[in-house]
Amino acid sequence: MLLLAFLCALYMGWSMGANDAANCVGADIGSGVMSVRTGIVLTCVFCFLGAVLLGGQVIKTIGKGIVPLASLPHQQAMTIAFAAVFGAASWVTLATYLKFPVSTSHAIVGGVAGAGLACHTVVLWEKMSQIVICWIVTPLGSAIFALVLYPFLAWIFGRPAVRKIGDRLIVVLIYLTSMYLAFTWGGNDVANATGLLTGTGKFSAQQAAVIGAAAILLGVVTWGHRVIETIGFQITNLTPLMTVAAEIASSVNVHLYTLWGIPVSTSHSIVGAIFGVGLATGIKALNLRLVRDIFVTWAVTPVVAGAISWAVVKLVVLFM
């Protein structure tokens, strides 16, 4: 079971990289400033740094804060870890195939809760409720921040003194903000892949961060381009300055939650921010049908991942 849990953690990391790479550079590529190859390289480097340097807090929450794995019998803890990660990764893989940016944080939290319920063990519902509230606030906060920030940046870059160097400065800012966003993504989301490994007591937070980061990088490189198309080109037509505003709003949002040890969705954060800058230019600029479809997949993600994990636990118990 430990081997299965470890392999599923690698699978989850790969699926996260494939789905969530778009959160860091999809807007850059959609604005025409950055190539797909450059975006993937930047994401890999700074995601790895964020996972190793910043990932410890959220890893502890995923590993011990939803179901107290360390206090459970070894076999039961291994079963929950395996089923939760498998359920979450399966759903994220399907969503990536369909080119929908879903929340890997929602998936893993739903998976842990579903597996815990199937094993008739304690689920820390108070912590779960805090996480769910943050899920709701995350896209709303980044949307409001971006909605306010974009007109302010447009005013600054419209000033005669700035206009002369505006285009070059915006390009520099796009690269810096995408690096920062990738860093915060690695810091928050690496826990979704390997946080449960620490909860079993077999891996330290640092070991889990390195393992998860490596798996995420593989997903970014091999399949990361699919959801990049949705984030970068299909929600709204992004200008370079809109991209800067969206990435600043999203990365600051995620960084704050990471420092608090709360697993939130970088997908929610960047989509909310893109929605905010799109709203700043007029509601007609948004692809409202796609936004609706994304919201629906967000809502069903923890439920579907939890249901798959619940079913996997029942199968494991039946055959072992």
Provide the CB-side half-sphere exposure for 53 (13 A, CA). Answer: 12
pLDDT value for 110: 92
pLDDT value for 18: 85
Read off the pLDDT of residues 59-95 as tens digits, 9 standing for 90 and up: 777 766 677 777 888 888 889 989 999 999 999 999 8
pLDDT value for 252: 94
Q: Where in the chain are the domains? A: 2-311
In the chain, which residues have pLDDT < 70?
A: 63-65, 229, 231-237, 283-286
pLDDT value for 65: 65
CB 290 within 8 A of CB 233: no
Angle made by CA atoms 213, 214, 218, in degrees to the nearest 5: 115
Name residue 236's beta-bridge partners: 286
pLDDT value for 237: 67
Neighbours of 157 (CB within 10 A): 18
